[in-house]
Structure 1
Amino acid sequence: MTEPRRGLGDIRTRLDHLVYAVPDLAAGIAEFAERTGVRPVAGGSHPGGTANYLVRFGPTSYLEIIGPDPEATARPRAFGLETLTAPRLAAWAVRPEDIDKAVWQAREQGFDPGDVQPLSRRTPAGELLEWRLTRREDPAAVRPVPFLIDWGDTPHPAASDLPLVSLTSLSAVHPDPDELRRDLAALGVRLDVSPGPEPALRAVIDTPLGSVTLR
């Protein structure tokens, strides 16, 4: 299994991870395992009321399956989880060499990726992971423009012994493909984009049970 072979342009940024949002974490993990033959590994809990499970695409990229933390009392709003009723490929992240410079360059080209903010979570073993990412006040349920992430000195999650699948392709649907391409270009990213009524992401992964599409 290898890193992505098409659908992503390796310009100034690199794929970090895809975000697959599920309304019920236990059910979402069980469904993913049934479809792929691969059981994701618990990643940990976030302060915002979410928890995640992970599988990797390779040593530097992974799939994050995120849902409401069963231990949390309030339903989180991140990635549309507050109203989500079915699993959805909601977002993706890229890792620039210099996140602050990448934000400045994007703004110079007319796209604001949002301010860089620190976040963290603890692994089930208690290890603290810390990173910085861009956040926008964006109510969209699906975000075809990636957010930027910088892991700093924290070991990358995909560098651990996670179950492995292969990302074959990543693409997007958008009502205005040219607008989306301009925003992607401001981040130094290329993506296959086709017209459609609503923004959507589509990833194809190779698994022990064959090709699986996440939407």
Structure 2
Amino acid sequence: MTSLAFDHLVHFSSNPESAKNTMLQHGIQVIEGGKHENWGTYNTLAYFGLSYIEWLGIQDRSVSIQVDDNPLIQQLVAELPLGDHPGRIALRTNNMDQLAADLKEKGLKLHGPVKGSRLTDSGELLQWSMLFIAEEHSTLPLPFFIQWGEDDAGRREKLKVPSSHPAGSLEIKDVLFAVEDLDNTISSWSYLFDLQIGEAYINEEWGAKCQRLYLPHGNLLFCTPVGDDFIKDFLDDFGERPFGLQLENGQQNRSILLQGGMYEITKE
């Protein structure tokens, strides 16, 4: 299968500017992303290398509710009334055609590619294409796939990505997911996306049993509740979804609870 890397976490937000201000207070640089005119949405972004968090909000609901060719925007419109929360992840590919062929071979139905673009603050046009898996009966949204319109060096130049944050030279260690059935989710995602499986362990603090799938630029860490703590509460509120990120190489340990998500920084 064509190689994949973690690209970004989409956090559904009723107020992306507020998310930006809170993260800035914790020493994490967040920039204004831009507007997606065709979808009626806008975003703020925190970069860690070329992988990032996107706080995605609705700017013009009359446009957003009519989008019929982008499952991410449809999910945003449907779920934002439940409250702010992380909603879905994107994986990066450099060969969308090969990826589509590989996924079809595994029996998946696909939607797309869907073209996307936005203007940066400096007037640069960013373009990309997205591929979705047409989901049937999956409570945990499967990743969508993104191929950027230029190579990594070109994107770095256009984005003016900061190489570090006041909180440290942060990198994404794990993308966090709350799930009901750990074994089934791990085996399914490992098979679909050809990812290596790590050892299961108990996270006492979260009251959860967790297990990792290894992925460049951000592993996927799935957790299922074994107690009545954060993970169980999150599942009760939002169902199976990503619930945040763990960042490493921080100057100090901290846990940021923000708009229904958890962003943890661990010290170097």
Matched-pair contact (CA < 8 Å) for 1:116–1:132: yes
Amino acid at match of 2:64: P
Q: Are residues 1:199 and 2:228 paired?
A: no
Deviation at 1:139, TM superposition (A): 10
How many angstroms does 1:83 deviate by? 4.7
Q: Deviations over 1:106-127 (max 9, x none)?
A: 2222334532121111112222
Q: Note if contact 2:179-2:224 (Cα within 8 Å) is conserved in structure 1.
A: yes
Match of 1:16 in 2: 7
Match of 2:68 in 1: none
The number of equivalent residue pairs is 201
Indicate yes or no: 2:62 matched with 1:74: yes
Secondary structure of residue in 2 paired with 1:74: helix
| TM-score, normalisation: structure 2 | 0.63
Distance in structure 2 (CA, Å) of the matches to 1:26 and 1:68 = 12
Q: TM-score, normalised by structure 1?
A: 0.76
What SS is found at the alignment partner of 1:43? Answer: strand
Instruction: Give, in whole Å, the separation in 2 of the partners of 1:88 and 1:158.
Output: 30
Rounded Cα–Cα distance in structure 1 between residues aligned with 2:10 and 2:131: 15
Q: 2:40 aligns with which of 46, 49, 63?
A: 49
CA contact (8 A) 1:37 1:208 kept: no
Q: Give 1:211's aligned residue.
A: 254
Residues 1:137 and 1:33: Cα distance change in structure 2 (over 3 Å) = farther
Task: State the match for 1:156 in structure 2.
Answer: 155
- Within a 5 Å distance, the mapping from 1:84-95 to structure 2 comes to 84=80, 86-95=83-92
Structure 1: runs of 5+ lacking an equivalent: 1-10
Give the Cα separation in 1 of the matches to 2:55 and 2:111: 23
The sequence identity of aligned pairs, in percent, is 21
Question: Structure 2 stretches of 5 or more lacking a match?
Answer: 66-72, 165-169, 196-212, 214-219, 226-234, 263-268
Task: State the alpha-carbon separation in 1 of the partners of residues 134 and 58 from structure 2.
Answer: 20
User: 1:204, 1:212 within 8 Å by CA — same for their partners in 2?
Assistant: no
Aligned equivalents of 1:113, 1:156: Cα separation in 2: 27
Matches within 5 A, 1:25-174: 25-34=16-25, 36-47=26-37, 48-58=39-49, 60-69=50-59, 72=60, 74=62, 76=64, 78=73, 79-81=75-77, 83-84=79-80, 86-136=83-133, 144-153=141-150, 155-156=154-155, 160-163=159-162, 164=164, 165-174=170-179
Distance in 1 between residues matched to 2:115 and 2:63, nearest whole Å? 22
Q: Does 1:176 align with 2:167?
A: no
Q: Which has the higher helix share?
A: 2
Alpha-carbon deviation of 1:53? 1.5
Distance 2:129 2:253 in 1: 35
Structure 1 residues 209 and 37: CA distance shift in structure 2, 3 A: farther
Cα shift at 1:104: 1.8
For the 8 Å contact 2:108–2:133, the answer to whether it is kept is: no
